C-alpha cells in the first residue's frame, strides 16, 4: 500500500480520490489551507498553502510515496508543486490534469480551437502550461491525467478507455468521464505506474 499526500483533497475531484485511495487501503494525508474535520477515520491532515510556501509545506510531507495534486491550476502552478515534492523528497507526482491541452489534431490543442469556451480558459491555459513545464522535468517521476471534456459527478463503473495526447470521444461524439471513474484511473496508475514521464487521458 502507498502513503499518499493529497493536495486539493477537499474539492470535488479530491474527495473522490480520497475515497478511492481509502477503498484500496492506502494511507492518505490531505493538505488544505483551512482546517477540515470531515475527512473520515484514519485520514491525516496537514494545514498549509502550497502557493505561499511550497518548500515549508513539503517539509511536512516527508516520507510519503506519492503526491497527488488536485489543486486548481489558476492558483497552483508547476513550480509550487515541484518545489513541495522536492522539499519532501517524494519520488512520484500524479497531477489531476485538464482536457484543454488534449490535441484535436496533431499539434492542435482543444484550447486553441475557436469554439473553446472563453470562460474555461482561466483554468485551461495554466493547466496546459503546467503540463508543458512537467515535460521538462527528469528528477521527479511524474504523470498527468487529463479527463474528458465533460467532467462531473457520476457513478464508479470501472469501465473506461485510456488514451494519450489525443482528444477522444465515444461513438456518439461525446467526451465524458465521471469524477469517480477518473479517481479509479488515477489510483490504478499510482498502484501500477504505466505512464511515468508523460500525460495520459481517460474517457468513456
pLDDT at 54: 95
pTM tops 0.75: yes
Angle at which helices 121-134 and 78-88 cross, to 10°: 40
Confidence of residue 39 (pLDDT cuts 50, 70, 90): confident
pLDDT surpasses 90 at 134: yes
pLDDT at 199: 98
Structural domain of residue 96, as residue ranges? 3-203
pLDDT surpasses 90 at 36: no
pLDDT at 35: 85
Dist CA 180 CA 16 (whole Å): 6
- For residues 171-189, give the mean pLDDT: 97
pLDDT at 19: 96
pLDDT at 41: 83
The three-state secondary structure class of 178 is strand
Confidence of residue 53 (pLDDT cuts 50, 70, 90): very high
Say if residues 42 and 57 touch (Cβ distance below 8 Å): no
Which cell numbers in the block locate residue 83? 518545489
List 9's β-bridge partners, or say none: none
- For residues 101-121, give the mean pLDDT: 93
Q: What is the number of domains present in the chain? A: 1
Convert the pLDDT of each residue in 57-74 to its tens digit.
999 999 999 999 999 999
Percent share of the chain, pLDDT over 70 = 100
- For residues 98-120, give the mean pLDDT: 93
pLDDT at 122: 94
143: domain CATH number is: 3.40.50.720
pLDDT at 16: 97
Ranges assigned E (strand) in the chain:
3-7, 27-32, 44-47, 66-69, 92-96, 103-105, 108-109, 141-146, 150-152, 161-163, 176-178, 198-203
pLDDT at 64: 97
pLDDT at 168: 95
pLDDT surpasses 90 at 80: yes
Chain centre to alpha carbon of residue 64: 17
- For residues 8-22, give the mean pLDDT: 95
Mean pLDDT for all residues in the chain? 95
Q: Show contacts of 189-192: CB within 8 Å, 24+ apart.
A: 189/94, 189/143, 189/145, 190/2, 190/4, 190/21, 190/26, 190/66, 190/68, 190/92, 190/94, 191/2, 191/24
Confidence of residue 38 (pLDDT cuts 50, 70, 90): confident
Amino acid at each position: 500500500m502507498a502513503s499518499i499526500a493529497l493536495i486539493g483533497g477537499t474539492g470535488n475531484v479530491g474527495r473522490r480520490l480520497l475515497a478511492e485511495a481509502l477503498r484500496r487501503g492506502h494511507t492518505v494525508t490531505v493538505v488544505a489551507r483551512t482546517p477540515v474535520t470531515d475527512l473520515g477515520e484514519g485520514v491525516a491532515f496537514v494545514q498549509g498553502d502550497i502557493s505561499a510556501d511550497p518548500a515549508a509545506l513539503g517539509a511536512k510531507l516527508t516520507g510519503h510515496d506519492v503526491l497527488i495534486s488536485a489543486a486548481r491550476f489558476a492558483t497552483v502552478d508547476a513550480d509550487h508543486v515541484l518545489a513541495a515534492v522536492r522539499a519532501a523528497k517524494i519520488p512520484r507526482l500524479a497531477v489531476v490534469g485538464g482536457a484543454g491541452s488534449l490535441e484535436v489534431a496533431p499539434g492542435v490543442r482543444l484550447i486553441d480551437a475557436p469554439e473553446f469556451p472563453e470562460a474555461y480558459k482561466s483554468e485551461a491555459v495554466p493547466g496546459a502550461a503546467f503540463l508543458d513545464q512537467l515535460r521538462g522535468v527528469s528528477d521527479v517521476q511524474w504523470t498527468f491525467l487529463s479527463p474528458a471534456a465533460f467532467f462531473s459527478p457520476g457513478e464508479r463503473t470501472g469501465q473506461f478507455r485510456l488514451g494519450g495526447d489525443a482528444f477522444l470521444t465515444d461513438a456518439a461524439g461525446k467526451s465524458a468521464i465521471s469524477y469517480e471513474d477518473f479517481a479509479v484511473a488515477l489510483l490504478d496508475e499510482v498502484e501500477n505506474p504505466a505512464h511515468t514521464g508523460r500525460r495520459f487521458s481517460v474517457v468513456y
